[in-house]
A and B are shown apart, each in its own frame.
Chain A
Amino acid sequence: MTPSSDPVVCRPACADDVADVVRAACSKGQALEVAGNGTRRGLGNPVAAAVRLELGGLDRVHFYEPDDLVIRVDAGVPLAEVERMLAGQGQYLPFEPPRHAALYGGDPARATIGGAVATGLSGPRRFQVGAARDFVLGVDGVNGQGEAFVAGGRTMKNVTGYDLSKLLCGSFGTMAVLTTLTLKVLPAPEAERTMLFPSAGLAGDIAALAAILSRPLAVTGAAIVPDGDGMAVALRLESSAPGVADHAARLDGTGLPPGRVLAAEESRAFWARVRELEALGAGDDDVLWRIHQPATRAAALADSLRQAGLVSSLMLDWGGALMFCVTPAIVLAGLDTAVPRLRALAAGAGGRAILLRAPDGIRAAHGAFPAPEPTVRALAARTRRVFDPVGILNPGRMTLVREGAEAC
């Protein structure tokens, strides 16, 4: 599933050069595909652009002050390098950013921190500790006219002016090119432990998880994943060493059958597999969905998707509020009808189905992201336009161009 065209790659080494590239493109009205190292180009809608602006050359670490819980790095620094630096000081990025590069044939080691912020992807821990946007303290960027600007700051608390950092996080490079990021980091939990329980059926599992999540337990992972021929409920506890033992003891008597325990290293490896969707066992050509819905409606939605023959395998995360599923390549021929059918079923359950991976043609036709209601779509289009008046930054990556045009 490689993108259809291969644009010329432009890879500046400093923010000033980024601004020059964008300014030149703006004056010519020429579209730019904005990327980090381009490891996740299949995420979002395909972008038609003759030039790809890669930020991977911006790789400076400006500062890391562990005592102040803050790190400032250029957008092109590999995510793995940021995580390695933090681990050296016993700290981490709490939102557990997925790489997902392998899904698109990219090298996960080259996935950048800028890409993590631009996509806003957040992993299993997100439902308890927050998403990428909750840890972005400030950004430096270049708008669609090639003007450099600074937003936010480096302090833990900051309500000075509009929160552009949040607006730009998860905007897939459609508003501005991110050049430098200031992130809040936290001390990594001292200990972790995962317990795996045999599934008692999705509805029962989700209800059991809801009961557990309503209690003050240090649960930072609550997933239901394929396990052998069936499914397993996975619960992760993270805290101090005595805390983990204490919380684990409290889980007894919550109605769960006795489970299998994964300690430290094993637990870490398990959640890395959950984060990267390895548990789904999807083939290279299978279509992948990411569906957000209320946890209480996930079981019924899963049933209806299976009954409709739209998915072959699925897993749940965030206590049931996030579903990943696979539409096998065999259904591909009928995908043009399968996509709207699946989206309609998700919408019926109060959810939104995102095409995490699908052939270019399918994403170009249906949009990787379900379209918001018209007033919101129009407002989003106006919001983009004040940052990128000519519409040259990743045009159509989030919203199909024809939708954007009709909104403006």
Chain B
Amino acid sequence: MRMPDPDRGIMARRGELAARLRRIVGAQWVLDDEAERRPYRCDGITAYQATPLLVVLPASTAEIQAVLALCREQGVKVVPRGSGTSLSGGALPLEDGVLLVTSRLCAIVAMDVENRVARVQCGVPNIRISEAARPFGLCYMPDPSSQMISTIGGNVAENSGGVHCLKYGMTSNHVVGLEAVLMSGEVIRLGGAFQGAADGELDLIGLLTGSEGLLAVVTEITVRLVPLPEAARVMSMGFASVEDACRCVGAIIGAGIIPAGLEFMDRKVLNAVASLLREEHDPRTAALLLCELDGTAAEIDALIDRVRGLADQAGAIDIRTSRTEEERERIWRSRKLAFSAIGKMCKDYYCTDGTIPRNRLPDILDRMAELSRTYGLDYANCFHAGDGNLHPIIMYDAARPGDLDKAEAFGADVLRACVDMGGVLSGEHGVGVEKRDLMTHQFAPADLRQQQVLKCAFDPGELLNPGKVFPTPCRCAEFGRMHVRGGEMRFPDIPRF
């Protein structure tokens, strides 16, 4: 993965920059020692690593303003980071860049129960919002599987999803207000503490959510809280073939049922999990669906009957339904343990995030089987079936020469196939550095350019999280010239990272 060449001049000024940053945030909150910087070398995707020039931990919006203003004045790049759980390398440091860590901005500023919103600082872990809202019968619905650790600021940067987003939406559907700092050091406040607060203005909240830290550093977020569902039950449905399971997914949605969660696991995942949980499945089971239904008890009962009927028609061989909260948690445990269980089965694995129109599930699964034979690497499947968001797990051995390259090539081919089937590169993990160079497979040059020019409005110096998301720099300096020449200037060959 090529990143922009580090600026040796900036690197040589580490000591001087550290001293100036210490005047802003306090001596102990700038890490310049190699040993202290080392733990920040990567985020959730360990294949990509770089030691940051400096690690800075500001405590307030005002300190972030001062840090960004200084970095802009000095031409120093900045990479924002929450808890570093990104699965696409979004928080991968730069050797000539400051890593801006938000973990000290961790206050729940206001819980407004009557208006059902919470205002929180960016470094608050996702789970803490729901914990704080629970006494009032409310919760923050988006629940990425990293929610114990990942920060709400990181969730906003990545527009995180989770198991329940099929019914309840992604992060962007739950944010009503943002405070952010631009690379210039200016603070912007968007929206407010109620829905519709930004109506009649450009939807800059919608733009910033999912912008992967390239446009601004989000410092404070106001999210919508919703009532905790009264009850939830989960159905575990085994099928003798992957095709039957896919047909059942289509039948459920086609019948007008939107489950709270609809997850798919193949036999390899089941075997891996079974060894940890000692949970047996019918030996004929080739695929398992987990379908969670929530609402009132009467609603759930009615839905369970309908889903059972659809599953029977699709040829389910084994249907189990949770009757207690304990049973529900036990059934979900297999899904929650899937990735660590696979991790125990193989030396290393690589998981990616393509999304397809849901009715192409059988086609993409065929293609994965074919690619597995071509590359000689095993894989397993565990994904959000309801919305067509795939997480193929490709198994390899990093100690075997060439294996990592093969795994990456396998993953890239799966993502290309997703795009070719009308889908996209990323459903919830983001592009980061991992999928950056595949962007040209999904977007034509004009489409990419239309996204990239936004950088010129937010960060014309291209200092904020450069080298992520887009395979080429924006080159804002040329934008002015481009529009002067009207339609003539197209997209000359510009250098890639």
Contacts and interface: CB of A to CB of B under 8 A. Distances in A.
Interface of A: 23, 26-27, 65-70, 90-91, 120, 126-127, 130-131, 133-134, 143, 145-151, 153-164, 166-167, 169-171, 174-175, 186-188, 190, 207, 210, 213-218, 239-240, 242-243, 245-247, 250, 290, 292-296, 318, 321-322, 350, 352, 354, 368-370, 372-373, 375-376, 379-380, 382-387, 389-390, 398
A401 to B, nearest CB: 16
B211 A162 contact: yes
A65 to B, nearest CB: 7
Contact of B195 (A127, A166, A175): A127
A130 B141 CA distance: 14
B206 A167 contact: yes
Given A160-B425, A350-B192, A296 B256 contact: no
B387 interface: yes
Given A167-B207, A243-B298, A151 B451 contact: yes
B165 A157 contact: yes
Given A167-B207, A207-B114, 16 more contacts: A66-B254, A131-B195, A155-B389, A158-B426, A160-B424, A160-B439, A160-B442, A161-B448, A164-B451, A166-B206, A175-B202, A243-B296, A243-B302, A292-B199, A294-B115, A321-B194
Interface stretch (B227-235, B283-291, B339-347): B227-235
Q: Which of A158, A159, A318, A398 has the most CB of B within 10 A?
A: A159
B375 interface: no
A379 B182 contact: yes
Given A67-B254, A214-B116, A157 B203 contact: no
Contact of A150 (B443, B470, B486): B443
Nearest to A384: B202
B173 A383 contact: no
Given A154-B422, A239-B299, A295-B115, A145 B487 contact: yes
A157 B389 contact: yes
A151 B450 contact: yes
B115 A155 contact: no
B148 interface: no
Interface residues of B, number: 99
A292 B198 CA distance: 9
Nearest to A26: B486
A169 B447 contact: no
Nearest to A141: B450
A68 B120 CA distance: 35
B253 A69 contact: yes
Contacts of B201: 369, 372, 376, 380, 398
Interface stretch (B50-58, B123-131, B314-322, B352-360): B352-360
A17 to B, nearest CB: 15
Interface in B155-197: 158-159, 161, 165-166, 169-170, 172-173, 182, 186-190, 192-197
Counting from the closest, the 10 A-B pairs by CB-CB distance are A166-B206, A187-B256, A369-B200, A389-B483, A156-B387, A157-B427, A382-B457, A243-B299, A216-B227, A292-B196
Q: Which of B137, B201, B428, B435 has the most CB of A within 10 A?
A: B201
A65 B115 CA distance: 37
Interface of B: 112-116, 136-138, 158-159, 161, 165-166, 169-170, 172-173, 182, 186-190, 192-197, 199-204, 206-207, 209-211, 215, 227-230, 250, 253-254, 256-258, 295-296, 298-299, 302-303, 355-359, 384, 386-389, 422-431, 435, 439, 442-444, 446-451, 453-454, 456-458, 469-470, 479, 483, 486-487
Nearest to B429: A159
Q: Which of A156, A239, A379, A385 has the most CB of B within 10 A?
A: A156
8 contacts: A66-B254, A127-B195, A150-B447, A170-B202, A190-B256, A245-B298, A294-B115, A370-B200
Contacts of A148: 446
A165 B11 CA distance: 39
Contact of B194 (A143, A161, A295): A295
B137 A215 contact: yes
Contacts of A292: 194-197, 199
Nearest to A250: B296
